[in-house]
């Protein structure tokens, strides 16, 4: 299993903490072996969870120029028409995907094109499904301009557990559908802001896979 580079500090810190704890447990004279094993298991489970969180799955990204692919793994928690004030200042269809701590937390470009906008916003850490999290939480906004279909905005939103959003997008650089544009540590959310004429292909409650599932299609 390959691990994501963003996990290196957390993994090393976890290894050090687990080794320290296990050394203390197994050097405790007089501690019954059965109890030592029982105390060891939670630390091994913690280490396994950290490795699982930073896993990098092997996938074949969607290659469909009309499709808007999922920017992340997770559950569709909102599909609604909203006013987007930061960049478009008009109405868009918002599709929100919630990532639990057990999901892959890599973020992927949903379309091909050129990055036309990027901005990081510090903010609060409301739970990721809170209605105000998209405007009040720590977040990063990226816009990619497709050469034929216009612009799509996608926003990384920190959750109650997330304390670091990583965004690799730079204005003026090429974006390839299914390639990485960022990573969010622990529970979080990604919003897609799509044109009103986009054909939505998911429903509330659907589970989607980053770089693979089709969220919507541009009109022909």
Catalytic residues: 188
CA angle 63, 115, 177 (to 5 degrees): 10
Q: Exposure of 129 by Cβ count < 10 A (0-12 exposed, 13-18 middle, 19+ buried)?
A: middle
CA contacts within 13 A on the Cβ side of 105: 30
Tokens of 9: 């500090």
Sheet with 188-194: strands ordered across: 174-175, 113-121, 139-146, 150-158, 188-194, 90-99, 74-84, 207-208
46: left (phi over 0), alpha (psi -120 to 50) or beta: alpha
């Amino acid at each position: 299993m390959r691990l994501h580079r963003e996990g290196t500090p957390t993994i090393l810190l976890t290894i050090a903490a687990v080794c320290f704890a296990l050394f203390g447990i197994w050097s405790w004279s007089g501690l019954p072996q059965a109890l030592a094993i029982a105390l060891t298991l939670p630390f091994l489970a913690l280490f396994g969870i950290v490795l699982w969180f930073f896993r990098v799955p092997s996938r074949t990204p969607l290659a469909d120029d009309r499709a808007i692919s999922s920017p992340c793994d997770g559950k569709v928690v909102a599909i609604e028409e909203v006013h987007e004030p930061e960049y478009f200042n008009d109405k868009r269809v918002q599709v929100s995907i919630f990532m639990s701590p057990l999901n892959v937390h890599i973020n992927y470009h949903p379309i091909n094109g050129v990055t036309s906008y990027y901005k990081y916003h510090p903010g609060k850490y409301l739970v990721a499904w809170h209605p105000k999290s998209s405007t009040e939480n720590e977040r990063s906004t990226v816009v990619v301009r497709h050469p034929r279909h216009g612009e799509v905005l996608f926003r990384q939103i920190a959750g109650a557990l997330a304390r670091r959003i990583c965004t690799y997008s730079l204005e003026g650089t090429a974006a390839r559908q299914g390639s990485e544009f960022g990573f969010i540590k622990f529970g979080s959310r990604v919003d897609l802001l799509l044109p009103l004429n986009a054909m939505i292909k998911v429903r509330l409650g659907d589970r989607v896979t980053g770089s693979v599932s089709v969220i919507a299609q541009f009109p022909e």
